[in-house]
Structure 1
Amino acid sequence: MSMQLELKNVDLRPGDQLKIKGTILHDAERFQIDLGSDSDDLALHFNPRFHDDTDGAVLVCNSKAAGCWGDEKREIHNPLQRGSDVKIVLKLAGDVFEVELPDGHEVQFPNRVGVDVINYIRVMGDFKLTCFKIC
């Protein structure tokens, strides 16, 4: 069962953290956490994939401007596993996004579109969200 949480008119600024807890479904293919202005303008698209033809399980980060995707950044280190409970912390640190994974590893992705304020958040896919906190 695919789930979706979509928030608009959020006010996430540099230094703020978004903490997401949940369970990755047992048969998960992928899920995503999107931060940006709206669904066509994403400063960060964080997309763990659990079966990718080229790399197996992989973390993919990207951005989207005016509906057009940028170049994917692929991270082979993926501690996320199907059926596990996870906590993921996303931080906007000015010119870079930092994504802290459950094992303490951090993925960094440049703020390509140069946003100062995130006002759109979406969590969707093969993930059961149990806690969502902005601090």
Structure 2
Amino acid sequence: FTQSVPFSSQIQGRLQDGMIITVCGSVLPDADRFNVNLQHGSDDVVLHFNPRYSWLLPISGYVVHNTRQNGKWGWEESKVETPFTIGQMFALQILVTQESYKISTNGKLFSEYKHRMPFSEVDRICVVGKVELNLVAFHNIVPNLPALPGSLMVPYKSIIYGGVLPGKCFVIQGVINLQAKRVGFSLRHKTGIAFYYSPDFDEKVVVRNRYEDGKWGEEERSGQMPFQRGQSFLVTICCSSDKYEVFVNGKQVHTYSRRKNDKEEIDVLEVSGDVQLTFVQH
């Protein structure tokens, strides 16, 4: 969370078929380009994903995909489209398959890049350029489910398979409506809500609570209000054995204690209220 750029990190165990890499951050206002590279060592770039921006025509731009092997770049595959807006938050998702990398931007399929080098050789991820980096994450998809998200309607509900064990994270990106009154993020089970996280824009507080046995618990309302009407956001909820930790735009803002016996009961993530959703991952 909130990593400095240039960013470089080793990938433990290397890439596998079905793995998803998620990179979230913001494109800086003066950006001309940035790179997300999947590398083999420090020299070979197995996948080069490179958005570029034109100051002559600010709304125009393109993305270059390429591979560098033995010190030499291959042929560029370019897409004349700007998936990420200058000055705005973004979510990049790379799905590894046997045939190619399937790349989505802000929850929508953007491009596909056929392998030129074996993905099993990838052992490092690097991010450089005019970008602020909030999150880099890896996980494997659940078998027989769609690999990449489509358009997200609100209220949004998603099934959680296997419960919410320690180490589980939820990544939610969107934009708060200009006239928003309230937004709710809920981890639910069949008889209630294990964790309810709700920015209230009239009172300018974030409410945390749980709903059990037909009644609400005691609200927690202290702490900062990191959301603004009309602004984009990135919420990450990380679950440990005894608490939920909430990060907003890469910064930890709230914690909430959890019941020890709710880990396998939670089966639904819900997002409701005055919000537009662009990306959800768990």
Shorter-normalised TM range: 0.7 to 0.9
CA contact (8 A) 2:241 2:260 kept: no
TM-score by length of 1: 0.86
The Cα of 1:28 is off from its aligned counterpart by 0.4
Which structure 1 segments of 5+ residues have no match?
none
The Cα of 1:9 is off from its aligned counterpart by 4.9
The Cα of 1:113 is off from its aligned counterpart by 6.5
The Cα of 1:103 is off from its aligned counterpart by 5.6
* Corresponding residue of 1:14: 166
Distance 1:119 1:41, change over 3 A: same
* Corresponding residue of 1:58: 205
Please give the alpha-carbon distance, in whole angstroms, between the structure 2 residues aligned to 1:104 and 1:133: 18
* Corresponding residue of 1:29: 181
Q: Which has the higher contact order (CA 8 A, sep 6+)?
A: 1
CA contact (8 A) 2:188 2:269 kept: yes
Check if 1:48 corresponds to 2:199: yes
Distance 1:122 1:100, change over 3 A: same
Which structure: greater strand fraction? 1
- 1:97-108 to structure 2, matched below 5 A, reads 97-102=244-249, 104-108=251-255
CA contact (8 A) 1:17 1:89 kept: yes
Aligned to 2:261, what secondary structure does the other structure show? coil
CA contact (8 A) 1:65 1:113 kept: no
* Corresponding residue of 2:274: 126
Distance 1:112 1:72, change over 3 A: farther
The Cα of 1:92 is off from its aligned counterpart by 1.3
Instruction: Indicate the RMSD between aligned Cα atoms, in angstroms.
Output: 1.8
The Cα of 1:109 is off from its aligned counterpart by 0.4
TM-score by length of 2: 0.43
* Corresponding residue of 2:258: 111
Aligned to 1:97, what secondary structure does the other structure show? strand
**CA deviation profile, 1:95-116 (whole Å, cap 9, x unmatched):** 1011111261330001046311
Please give the alpha-carbon distance, in whole angstroms, between the structure 1 residues aligned to 2:239 and 2:188: 11
Give 1:70's aligned amino acid. G
Matched length: 128
**Larger CA deviation: 106-115 vs 81-90:** 106-115
Distance 1:124 1:25, change over 3 A: same
Which structure 2 segments of 5+ residues have no match?
1-152
CA contact (8 A) 2:223 2:253 kept: no
